[in-house]
């Protein structure tokens, strides 16, 4: 996704609250000798997989809802992934398009077996409706048809998703410049690639075009590694659990600089060790480090994009 890479680099070159420390990137790259520990997709065993189109439907719904867990201290991505998995195992029609477009908040909670209102629940319901309506209107109700229409191109699939499903249009304005981040659209491609092991619905000839998925956890890990440096005011806000306004300079810089930092890491690994790593592999490694150290302070933004 060249638009994501280019706009992230543009932000990083003008950032005033977040700095990417290139020396620390080199230290990390040298420490791991260019070998990012391999983390398997679904290493926790929480996802639905049947090697067919229902898995694609599951992943698309999962990634439509994959945002903003932190306001509920007990809720996590694991609950979402495993909740949808159990719902499908009980009822294979649970994620059919005609049902997605009619779910209510209480019905979504029941689907996930969650006992209380979800964070930004009304937005989650709205996005379910959007997914159901557009899948039914343009893709015969099947996310698998959406994937097939991309012709095995990750970039084309992301373009299709962001054209047809406004809830995936993860854009920001930064100093008058449009910034593209596309966390959930890109992670859907990565989930397909990981689940199907690069075959069938997960076969993409340009999988190396995908960047990392700028969320809460990866920036926190990059900060812990010393790669991201925050200004004193931003550090204080994050460490005090203050909310960061969506679309603010601070929020855009955190996410864009995370993407830029990992791109620089990829470039350095290639230059020093001759290894061509995927951003997906680096993201999985960083994310797994973060979920194993939930004491890390992360920025808190109420957003439907991550």
Active site residue 63: no
State the pLDDT at residue 1. Answer: 86
176 assigned to some structural domain: yes
Q: What angle do CA 50, 64, 6 make, to 5 degrees?
A: 110
Nearest CA among 219, 243, 240, 191 for reference residue 41: 191
Q: How many residues comprise the chain?
A: 306
How far is CA 209 from its chain centroid? 15
Cα–Cα distance, 36 to 279 (Å, whole number)? 10
Nearest CA among 175, 218, 240 for reference residue 306: 218
156 assigned to some structural domain: yes
Count of Cβ atoms closer than 10 Å to residue 233 Cβ = 10
251 assigned to some structural domain: yes
State the pLDDT at residue 40. Answer: 87
State the pLDDT at residue 301. Answer: 98
234 assigned to some structural domain: yes
What's the domain count of the chain? 1
Cα–Cα distance, 84 to 76 (Å, whole number)? 13
The whole domain housing 173 covers 1-292
- Binned average pLDDT, 10 residues per bin, the chain of 306 residues: 96 98 97 90 93 98 97 94 97 98 97 96 98 98 98 98 98 97 98 97 97 97 98 97 97 98 97 95 94 90 97
306 assigned to some structural domain: no
Active-site option among 215, 239, 281, 283: 215
Under a CB-based contact definition with an 8 Å cutoff, are residues 211 and 4 in contact? yes
SS (H, E, C) the chain: CHHHHHHHHHHHHHCCCEEECHHHHHHHHHHCCCCCCCCCCCCCCCCCCCCCHHHHHHHHHHHHCCCCCCCCCCCCHHHHHHHHHHHHHHCCCCCCHHHHCCCCHHHHHHHHCCCCCCCCHHHHHHHHHHHHHHHHHHCCCCHHHHHHCCCCCHHHHHHHHHHHCHHHCCEEEECCEEEECCHHHHHHHHHHHHHCCCCHHHCCCCHHHCCCCCCCHHHHHHHHCCCEEECHHHHHHHHCCCECCCCCHHHHHHHHHHHHHHHHHHHHHHHHHCCCCCHHHHHHHHHHHHHCCCCCCCCECCCCCC
302 assigned to some structural domain: no
State the pLDDT at residue 35. Answer: 92
304 assigned to some structural domain: no
State the pLDDT at residue 38. Answer: 86
41 assigned to some structural domain: yes
State the pLDDT at residue 222. Answer: 98
**Residue that has been written with the tokens 């075009």 in this structure:** 209
């Amino acid at each position: 996704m060249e638009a994501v890479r280019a706009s992230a680099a543009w932000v990083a070159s003008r950032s005033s609250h977040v700095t990417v420390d290139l020396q620390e990137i080199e230290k990390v790259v040298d420490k791991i000798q260019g070998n990012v520990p391999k983390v398997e997709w679904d290493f926790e065993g929480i996802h639905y997989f049947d090697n067919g189109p229902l898995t694609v439907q599951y992943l698309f719904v999962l990634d439509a809802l994959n945002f903003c867990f932190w306001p509920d201290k007990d809720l996590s991505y694991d609950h979402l992934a495993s909740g949808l998995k159990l719902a499908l195992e009980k009822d294979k029609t649970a994620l059919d398009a005609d049902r997605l477009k009619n779910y209510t908040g209480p019905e979504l909670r029941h689907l996930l077996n969650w006992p209380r209102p979800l964070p930004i629940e009304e937005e989650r319901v709205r996005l379910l409706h959007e997914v159901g309506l557009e899948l039914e209107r343009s893709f015969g109700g099947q996310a698998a048809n959406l994937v097939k229409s991309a012709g095995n191109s990750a970039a084309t699939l992301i373009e299709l998703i962001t054209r047809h499903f406004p809830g995936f249009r993860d854009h920001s304005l930064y100093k008058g410049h449009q910034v593209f981040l596309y966390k959930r659209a890109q992670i859907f491609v990565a989930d397909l690639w990981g689940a199907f092991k690069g075959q069938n619905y997960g076969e993409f000839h340009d999988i190396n075009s995908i960047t990392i998925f700028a969320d809460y956890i990866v920036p926190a890990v990059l900060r812990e590694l010393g790669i991201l440096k925050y200004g004193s005011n931003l550090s204080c806000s994050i460490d005090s659990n203050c909310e960061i306004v969506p679309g603010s300079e601070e929020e855009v810089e955190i996410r864009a600089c995370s993407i830029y930092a990992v791109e620089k890491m990829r470039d350095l690994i290639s230059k020093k060790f001759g290894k061509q790593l995927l951003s997906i592999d680096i993201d999985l490694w960083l994310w797994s480090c973060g979920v194993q150290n939930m004491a890390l302070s992360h920025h808190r933004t109420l957003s439907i994009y991550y």
